[in-house]
Amino acid sequence: MKVVAINGSPHADGNTAAALGIMAEELAAEGIETEILQVGGQMIRGCVDCGHCSSSEANACVFKDDVVNEFTAKMRSADGIILGAPTYFAGIPGETKAFLDRAFYSSRRSERFKHKVGTALTVARRAGGNDALHQLMDFLDLSETVTPPAQYWTVVYGREKKEVLKDEEGIQTLRKNARAMAWLIKMIDATKGKIPTPGEGRTEKKLRTNFIR
C-alpha cells in the first residue's frame, strides 16, 4: 500500500516538507509507504480547457514539458493522496494550483481518484491557513475521495525552517490524521470484493446542469 504526497512549497526542505514528513513517519509505522513529490518551484503552466485529456491515451494532459503527467500517474496508482502547501495570501502557491487543476481535471473525467483516501495540510505563519486548506480539500471532495478524520483543522504554524515542529497541537493533529488515513486505506483494501463501493451495480449517468440556459 502506498500514499503519494504533494509538496506544494517551493522549499523542498521547509515547513511543508517537515509536516508531510511527520505524516509519512506515521504511515510508515502502519506499514504504508509514502512518496513525496516536489511540485512547488516547478515551471507548470495552467489548464487551458482544451479537452485533450478527455480522449487522450491514459487521459494525459496535452502539455508534456513538465511533471504533471508523470506525477498524476503516480497519484492515480496510489492508495492515498496527501496535498500539502504553504499559505500565500490566504491561498496556495500558483504553480501548485496549476498542477492540481490539470492533475484533478484530467483524472476526474474518468474518476481516477474516486474512493481513494485523500487528505490535505497547510502551513501558515499566522492566518489564512484554513482558506488554503479548504482550497486543497475542494480538489479532493470534487473527486469523491474518502477523507480521514482529524481532531482539528490540519493547519500547522511556523515561518522559520522546521519551525512547525514546535507546534505541538498541530503536529499531534497531523499524526492522528495520518493514523486515520492508514486505517481507512486498510479498511478499503480489506473489504474489496466483499462490500460494494457506493453505486456499484447501480449505474447512474452523471448529470450536468448549468445555471444559465
pLDDT at 211: 85
pLDDT of 108 higher than 90: no
Kindly indicate the confidence band of residue 102, based on its pLDDT and cuts at 50, 70 and 90. very high
Determine the 3-state secondary structure of 80 from DSSP.
strand
Domains of the chain: which residue ranges? 2-190
Over residues 69-84, the pLDDT tens digits come to 999 999 999 999 999 9
Q: What percent of the chain has pLDDT over 90?
A: 89
pLDDT at 55: 92
Over residues 153-170, the pLDDT tens digits come to 999 999 999 999 999 999
Average pLDDT, whole number, for the chain?
A: 95
Kindly indicate the confidence band of residue 201, based on its pLDDT and cuts at 50, 70 and 90. confident
Q: Mean of the pLDDT values across residues 89-93?
A: 97
pLDDT at 128: 98
Written as nine digits, the cell of 13 is 526542505
Could you tell me which residues come within 8 angstroms of residue 105 by beta carbon, excluding any fewer than 6 positions away?
47, 53
- Please answer whether residues 154 and 174 qualify as being in contact, where contact means their C-beta atoms are separated by less than 8 angstroms: yes
Second-level CATH architecture of 2-190:
3-Layer(aba) Sandwich (3.40)
pLDDT at 142: 95
pLDDT at 202: 74
Could you tell me which residues come within 8 angstroms of residue 9 by beta carbon, excluding any fewer than 6 positions away?
15, 16, 17, 40, 41, 84, 85, 86, 93, 123
Question: What is Dmax (Cα atoms) for the chain?
Answer: 53
Its pTM stands at 0.95
Over residues 112-150, the pLDDT tens digits come to 999 999 999 999 999 999 999 999 999 999 999 999 999
Written as nine digits, the cell of 32 is 504504508
